[in-house]
Every structure is written in C-alpha cells, then in structure tokens.
Amino acid sequence: MPETETSPAPSTGENREYDYDLFVIGAGSGGVRASRVAAAHGAKVAVAEEYRIGGTCVIRGCVPKKLLVYGSHFAEELQDAAHYGWTVSAMSFDWAVLRDTVLKDVDRLNAAYTSTLESHDVERFLERATITGPHGVKLASGREISAKVILVATGAWPAVPEFEGSEHCITSNEVFHLEKMPKRVVIAGAGYIAMEFAGIFNALGAHVTVVNRSDVILRGYDEAMRDRLLQITMARGIEYKFHCPFNKVTKLEDGSLEVNLEGQDPLKADIVLVATGRKPNTAGLGLENAGITLGEKGEIPVDEHNRTSCDSIYAVGDVTNRVQLTPVAIREGQAFADTVFGGMPSTVDYGCIPSAVFSQPPLAGVGLTEGQARNKYGNIRVYSSDFRPMKNVFAGRQERGLYKLITDAATGKILGLHMIGPEAPEILQAAAIAVKAGLTKADFDATVALHPSMAEELVLMR
C-alpha cells in the first residue's frame, strides 16, 4: 500500500525503521479492535495494558453492571411469580454468589479478549506505558520502544469531586468487589451510572438515596422519559435529595459512614458511591513530550481521522471525550486501523447514535429529544403511547411505559425516538435502524403490528 498523508503504510522485513508499526496504549474495546484490524492489515502491532485486557466496559463497566441488573431483576420476577401460578418459598439472596459469578464472567471475557490479540500476533505488555516522543514509548519496567504510529486508547476514569472524607467513598470501579451487600446506599450523581446502580441496589433490598447538585436526572435524555423514571423509582422507594452538595463524609467506629450534605440532616450509609461522571484518562501519559496539548476536560483533541496534533499519534474512545460509549470506541478503532494501515480512509458518523440506561425500568433513545427538535426544526409533531405493559397488568403493577416519536411536521421524517419500559433497549436497537435510515411516521404506520407485544406500540402511536 503506498504511503499517504493519512495512511502511513506498515513497514515490513529487515528494513523496519521502528520496533513496531503500531504501538497501542490501552487494551479496551477501542484499542483491541484497532490492534486486531491493524495486524490483519499486515502491521506489526504491540499493545500495553496496565490492568487487564478488555478495558472498562468488560472489566469494570457496562458488562458486569448489566449482569448485576439481571441478577437484581429476580427480586421482581420472584414476587410476580405467584400471579402465574408459581409458589416460591424461603426466598433469600446471597450477594457473594452474584458478585463472584459476575467476576468469573469478567475473567472469561478477559481471556477471550486476550485470545483475540494472540490469534492476530499482537504482542502484549501487561504494564503501564508512557509517551516519550512522537515515536517513542517507555514501559514501567524501563524498556523503551519505538513505533511508527502510536495510538492512545486509555479510556476514561471516574471523576471524584473534592470534599472532606471523599477517600471513604467508592466509585463504579470498586462496587463490583464489595465484601457484603450494603443495607444503606448513598449515591452521588444522577447520570446513567448513578441511576443504574440505584436500581440495582434498590431491587436487592437496600435503602437508596440519590444525591445530586441539581434537580435533573439523566441530563441530555428526553424530559418525559426522565420524569417518568423519577416517578417510578420514587414509588419503588428510592429517595432523592436535590441541590445538595456534599460537605463531608465521616467514617464511624462501626465502619459505617455519616454523610453531611448542604442544608440537610446527616445521612447514615454503609457505602457512598460517587457516580458524578468520568474524565479522560490522560494523567501522566507524557503527551506533552510529543507536543500534544490536552483539552479543557483533559481530553485528547483529534481530527475526523483520530489524529492528534502530532502526526504520528492518534487517539480513540473515551480518552477523546467525543462520545463515551463502547460501540463508538470500537467503530473509531476500526476506522483508525482501516485508514492508517488498510488504505481505506474511514470516519465515524456520530449522528443518530442509540443509547440506553439500564435503570429499572430501563429507558432508551435515538436521535433528537423533543426539546432539541423544537430548537432545531421549530415545527415538529410528537406522537406518544402511554400504556401499561401486559406483564405489569397481570402482575398487578401500576407502572406505565411511555414511547415517544418526534417528527418533522412538514415531512413526517422521524427526528427522534424515545422509550421507557420493560425491554426498551432491546426494542430500540431495531427501531434505531429506521431512524438512522430517515424513515417517516408513514413508514411506521404502514408496518403491521406484531401482537401482542410492547414493540407494537411503535407502529400504533397517534
């Protein structure tokens, strides 16, 4: 492949100028995909990972968290079983069993990701690597390595606000390793991580208090979905304290915690989980040695081809702070490898990216929210379906699902689709294809409903 400005060809044979064609720092979703694809294109690739192969999503993020969601769902399922004729007696829950089963699956995925790299002859260094210059990295062991291209894929890290006693708090990194099930949980923040863990611990029987500096949960999601989730979770027993900055967390003699909030009586807790966002993991990487200046939030600025201000250094995934989602990091890693080593210049389309919150109940959305659509298009039309899922009716639960279609009033084109209710993320994935394809409300109306299902509400909205 001829070398181009955006696609430096991998070197081969005895004339290799560098130790590696590509050196990747970080073996998460984006780094592993980039390594595998670059190697398939003929590049000599190495990757450094200071913890475990697989990254945040696989090791301490969305995958183990989803398994905890599954485990917590059984509390509701077992309660509802009586309505279906089942007698379930002597119910009990063992946190250690769920925790260890989840961690066992993390081990499985770590091995699977490692096997993927091995099968593509990607060399692995299980230690920290820092950048020493445009083509140089240094391992924690002291070894210095040269590479024609360096890719930074170090992800993001939990952001912990500064307040007295913050060292007594945990983040989503540690929550999967708790020795015992907490009875009282205080969660700082109201984003997707906070709301997912609030649902998990609430379902497992803990008293959960969500503390937030503002009065908005899930900022950026459609307002109607947020309001519905707030109503349902409050009815389920989750307590909210809004406009409440943390003043201090004190560890008591019995090991419990006392949480002091601005303008509130102290709270007692077994754990305080800080879930106030994630910051790009760039501290101490040595990017300044290659002349790279970080952005305001510590992110690595890159162009549409994932290249930094240094021509030989690229970055993908959460470390760039574009869209902090695993599938996006994977697409960026693929585009990088195809562009730089495959002779196939590629970019990622960031429009209409579906997202979900695995709260209880879950919500999901794609495209513009109602507010965003009004601001951009002005004249819009909103269709909705506010219904009680059949499962809830039969179980005697009052919780209602809500689906919303937002369209351009002039053309009928669907601008956004948002839903909250059982299995909402599973339903949205297929519907997101239609939104991405630019289909209209008429196209949905022309589709025969699949009955009886919750998904049929998508083609019956008025």
Backbone angles phi, psi at 188, to 5 degrees: -90, 120
Q: Which two tokens mark 47?
A: 């990757």
Q: Which residues of 46-64 are buried (b: 16+ CB within 10 A; e: fewer)?
A: bbbbebbbbbbbbbbbbbb
Distance CA 258, CA 164 (A): 12
Q: What is the 3-state secondary structure (H, E, C) of 361-425?
A: CCEEEEECCHHHHHHHHCCEEEEEEEECCHHHHHHCCCCCEEEEEEEECCCCEEEEEEEECCCHH
Distance CA 42, CA 36 (A): 10
Contact 98, 205 (CB under 8 A): no
Distance CA 250, CA 363 (A): 35
State the DSSP code for 172.
T
How buried is 301 (Cβ within 10 angstroms: 0-12 exposed, 13-18 middle, 19+ buried)?
middle
What spatial distance separates the first Cα and last Cα of the chain, rounded to whole Å? 55
Q: Which two tokens mark 130?
A: 């820092």
What are the beta bridge partners of residue 319?
none
* Helix orientation angle between 223-235 and 370-377, rounded to the nearest 10 degrees: 170
Q: Which two tokens mark 38?
A: 């670059």
Task: Write the DSSP assignment of 85-112 as a string of letters.
Answer: T----S----HHHHHHHHHHHHHHHHHH
Supply the residues annotated as catalytic. Answer: 451
Torsion of CA 34, 297, 209, 225, to 10 degrees: -70
Distance CA 26, CA 28 (A): 6
Distance CA 45, CA 43 (A): 6
Helix count (H) and strand count (E) of the chain? 11, 21
